[in-house]
């Protein structure tokens, strides 16, 4: 337990808001004297659905080169994705090929009609008619791009979802928690048992902002206490 109040002068300025890629999360590193605190930011999970291994491999490399997202699933047809969703697993972003054996991308969308997960789809197609585009957009797909698109175009489509990063009905394990709230959670769970005042100073915000984080998280997660927040974070993988 820290006995003395932490001063911002004890935090090396060059380390404040230094975002570093690390394994499956990216995190903010704070240096307090000789102690390092790593604040983890949960990455968006991407699912690639394409029957060509070469395409999946190329997309995976591109996705994993971005700090905010990572490829979690590689599937070969729409049926496999449908099975994943029926098991209660909902990717944050889905890159879906139009033509595949067993179940095509369009057939999958028909099966998922009115399901909010459709809003997380990037639809890939070599050739697509105006009528098909209208049908796909009517089903709720937000991004349709050509399979011949270059890396920049694919990144732009991915960036749309990264920027939008909002909660959808299908996400069970992590409600719409902001990165700053995730930082707050990391400090609440830290073994140094920081007080709210210390957390405010570490994060460089007013105590009222910390109180706002606390109230917002209690409401979003339907919890009533600091210990409840710690238990929720550990159970749901928000604290590393």
- Convert the pLDDT of each residue in 119-140 to its tens digit: 899 999 887 788 888 888 888 8
- Within the chain, all domains assigned CATH 3.40.50.2300 are found at 44-164
- pTM score, whole prediction: 0.55
- Angle of CA points 65, 18, 3, to nearest 5°: 140
The reported pLDDT for the residue numbered 122 is 95
pLDDT in tens, 15-31: 333 333 333 444 455 44
Q: Which CATH topology does 8-42+173-235 take?
A: Arc Repressor Mutant, subunit A (1.10.10)
Tell me which residues of the chain have a pLDDT lower than 70: 1-42, 165-175, 240
Is residue 207 a contact partner of residue 196, using CB atoms and an 8 Å limit? yes
Residues 6+ apart with CB under 8 A from 153: 145, 146
Q: Within the chain, which residue ranges are assigned CATH 1.10.10.10? A: 8-42+173-235
**Cβ–Cβ under 8 Å, residues 119 and 168:** yes
In which order are the strands placed within the sheet that holds 25-32? Answer: 19-22, 25-32, 35-42
Q: Which residue has the tokens 């902001």?
A: 178
DSSP string across 74-139? EESSHHHHHHHHHTT---SEEEEES--SSS-HHHHHHHTTT-GGGGGEEEEESS--HHHHHHHHHH
The residue behind tokens 């911002």 is 8
Q: Which fold has domain 44-164?
A: Rossmann fold (3.40.50)
Instruction: Say what the pLDDT of residue 177 is.
Output: 80
């Amino acid at each position: 337990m820290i006995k003395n109040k932490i001063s911002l002068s004890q935090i090396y300025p060059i380390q404040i808001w230094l975002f570093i890629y690390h394994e499956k999360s990216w995190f903010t590193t704070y240096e307090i004297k000789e102690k390092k605190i790593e604040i983890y930011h949960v990455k968006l999970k991407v699912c690639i659905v394409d029957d060509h291994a070469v395409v999946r491999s190329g997309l995976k490399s591109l996705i994993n080169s971005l700090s905010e997202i990572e490829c979690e699933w590689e599937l070969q047809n729409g049926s496999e994705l449908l099975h994943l969703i029926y098991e209660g697993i909902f990717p944050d972003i889905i890159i879906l090929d139009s033509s595949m054996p067993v179940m095509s991308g369009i057939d999958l969308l028909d099966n998922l009609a009115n399901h909010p997960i459709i809003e997380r789809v990037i639809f890939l197609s070599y050739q697509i008619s105006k009528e098909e585009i209208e049908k796909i957009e009517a089903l709720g797909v937000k991004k349709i791009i050509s399979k011949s698109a270059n890396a920049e175009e694919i990144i732009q489509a991915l960036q749309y979802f990264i920027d939008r990063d909002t909660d959808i009905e299908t996400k069970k394990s992590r409600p719409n928690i902001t990165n700053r709230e995730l930082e707050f959670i990391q400090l609440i769970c830290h073994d140094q048992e920081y007080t709210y005042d210390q957390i405010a100073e570490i994060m460089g915000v007013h105590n009222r902002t910390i109180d706002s984080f606390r109230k917002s998280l209690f409401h979003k997660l339907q919890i009533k206490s600091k210990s409840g927040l710690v238990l929720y974070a550990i159970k749901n993988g928000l604290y590393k």
